[in-house]
Amino acid sequence: MSEITLILKKMQHGEAGAANKLLDLVYDDLRRVAAGKMAFEAAGHTLQPTALVHEAWLRLGGDQQPHWQNRAHFFGAAAEAMRRILVDNARRKNRLRHGGALSRVEWTNFDVAAVENDNEVLALDEALSNLTLHDPIGAKLVELRFFAGLSNKEAAETLGLAERSAKRTWAYARAWLKKELSKSD
């Protein structure tokens, strides 16, 4: 049993401080994943990786964590929380009353040609929701790989799939999403 699973079991039994131990154990991994996701965001993005991890932790329950079945359950929920935060942030920024149709220009640098990535995040979220209806396991695999930053092997273990099955599912889901996203262009 992994150390994470042991801590999750301690949390189920109400051990004081187990949630803090869990955060200490997974923080660096979640921070690395968040930094990877934030690297794709447009210049001038206000959400930082540390804030993304902390917001995800709070959405998961903070110190009052729910009963996680296992490591896979926890990381799946963390991936979903990060996805929701990025999508909510993209939606918030795209609202017209918040200047969604405007782009930020620095006074000292008028050569701002950054691609706004918020629309891509929203399009991916919609496509992923459609994939969930068509292939829930494929959608969960994409979520774990893209939003949680897990490798194919880690995602396969998390979902209880053989690595080869996960590889085939990943290839199918990517092709399906590419086709779905090309419809919106």
pTM of the model: 0.57
What is the reported pLDDT for 111? 28
Helices 163-183 and 152-159 pack at an angle, to 10 degrees, of 100
What is the reported pLDDT for 163? 93
What is the reported pLDDT for 105? 40
Residue ranges of alpha helices (H) inside 13-151 are 18-38, 49-60, 71-94, 118-134, 136-142
What is the reported pLDDT for 133? 93
pLDDT values of the chain reduced to their tens digit, one per residue, 185 residues: 578 888 888 888 888 888 888 888 888 888 888 887 777 666 666 778 888 889 998 898 887 888 888 888 888 888 888 888 888 887 877 775 555 555 554 433 322 233 346 777 788 888 889 999 989 999 999 888 887 888 889 899 989 999 999 999 999 998 888 888 888 65
Alpha-carbon distance values, 15 to 9, 21, 42, 61, 63 (Å): 9, 11, 42, 16, 12
Contact 83, 125 (CB under 8 A): yes
